[in-house]
Amino acid sequence: MADSINTDKPRELIASDRVEGTAVYNLNGERLGTITSFMVDKRSGQAEYAVMQFGGFLGIGADHYPVPWQKLTYSTDHGGYVVDLDKDTLEAAPRYGHDDDAPEYNADYDRSVNTYYGLGA
């Protein structure tokens, strides 16, 4: 995507190692957890998933949840990302435990996570 610099609304850049650790909130402004890392398309450089960790909020474990980047909205007010996901959605969402258990993000996994969140085909 060669989106060149838009003078009207300058893009806001953040260092990759600062995205890691950024807080995530729900629509009510409650802090759900943090982004531990994100999955990037090697070639295009497009972030496709934020991997979120929820600190046992509402009984949801501290697992890693890959959430499609499109589901995130950056909130200047919060200084973090807002996701419109409810407890039921998260409870059944694709996840894994430790970082070492991270799945291979191959085409099948990619498709299955996107499908879960109602994206892609």
Binding site for its own copies (CB under 8 A): 1-5, 7-8, 10-17, 19-20, 37-49, 51, 69-70, 72-74, 102, 105-107, 110-111, 114, 119-121
What is the nearest approach in angstroms of its own copies to the Cβ of residue 39? 4
Given the complex with its own copies, which of 27 and 58 has the nearer CB atom? 27
Shortest distance in whole angstroms from residue 20 CB to its own copies: 6
Q: Mapping DSSP to helix (H, G, I), strand (E, B) and coil, where does residue 68 land?
A: strand
Whose Cβ is closer to its own copies: residue 62's or residue 70's? 70
CB of 22 to its own copies, least distance (A): 9
7 or 28: CB nearest its own copies: 7
CB of 23 to its own copies, least distance (A): 13
Angle of CA points 111, 74, 99, to nearest 5°: 50
Residue pair 65/93 in contact (Cβ under 8 Å)? The answer is yes
Q: Which residues lie below 8 Å from residue 100, measured CB to CB, with a gap of 6+?
A: none
Q: How far is CA 56 from CA 11, 33, 34, 96, 104, in A?
A: 34, 9, 12, 14, 25
Q: What angle do CA 90, 21, 46 make, to 5 degrees?
A: 75
